[in-house]
């Protein structure tokens, strides 16, 4: 079956531009996560949705970052007024249930480069 799909795969933005990154989770998955992976680092948690509810946004680095999942399926991560330090791979993951026993399925990520 289809896995987690992210688009675009690559995005180049000039500093100050706004960007929107899309995530299509596996159908029926309740939980959805966004992670940021800087070069040479492990993924770092940004935000978590349970269905359409954003239950945890403690990892968002600034108020320029905004995420939504209005119908409990597709999610969008928006970054306003991009800065060079925003350059990273943004990973989306979904899981069938909530809690640590439900494995996370990751997309291939969107590589954002801010010039």
Partner 1 sequence: AQSVTQLGSHVSVSEGALVLLRCNYSSSVPPYLFWYVQYPNQGLQLLLKYTTGATLVKGINGFEAEFKKSETSFHLTKPSAHMSDAAEYFCAVSDRNGSQGNLIFGKGTKLSVKP
Which residues form the interface with partner 1 (CB under 8 A)?
A: 4, 31, 33, 40-45, 48, 50, 55-56, 91, 93, 95, 97-104, 106-109, 111
Nearest-5° Cα angle at 33, 63 to 5: 110
CB of 45 closer than 8 Å to CB of 65: no
Nearer to partner 1, 73 or 102 (CB): 102
Nearer to partner 1, 48 or 82 (CB): 48
User: Closest approach of Cβ 81 to partner 1, in Å?
Assistant: 27
User: Closest approach of Cβ 80 to partner 1, in Å?
Assistant: 24
User: Closest approach of Cβ 3 to partner 1, in Å?
Assistant: 8
User: Closest approach of Cβ 46 to partner 1, in Å?
Assistant: 10
- Please tell me the distance from the alpha carbon of residue 49 to that of residue 110, in angstroms, as a whole number: 19
Nearer to partner 1, 59 or 68 (CB): 59
Cβ-proximal residues to 15 (8 Å cutoff; 6+ apart), any chain? 82, 83, 84, 114, 115
- Please tell me the distance from the alpha carbon of residue 68 to that of residue 97, in angstroms, as a whole number: 19
- Please tell me the distance from the alpha carbon of residue 81 to that of residue 78, in angstroms, as a whole number: 10
Nearer to partner 1, 23 or 114 (CB): 23
């Amino acid at each position: 079956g289809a896995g987690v799909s992210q688009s675009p795969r690559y995005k180049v933005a000039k500093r100050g531009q706004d960007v929107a990154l899309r995530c299509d989770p596996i159908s029926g998955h309740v939980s959805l996560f966004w992670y940021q992976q800087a070069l040479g680092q492990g993924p770092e948690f940004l935000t978590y949705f349970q269905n359409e509810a954003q239950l945890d946004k403690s990892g968002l680095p600034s108020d320029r970052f905004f995420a939504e999942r209005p119908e409990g399926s597709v999610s969008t991560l928006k970054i306003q007024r991009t800065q060079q330090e925003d350059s990273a791979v943004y990973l989306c993951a979904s899981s069938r249930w909530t809690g640590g026993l439900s494995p996370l399925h990751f997309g291939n990520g969107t590589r954002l480069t801010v010039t």
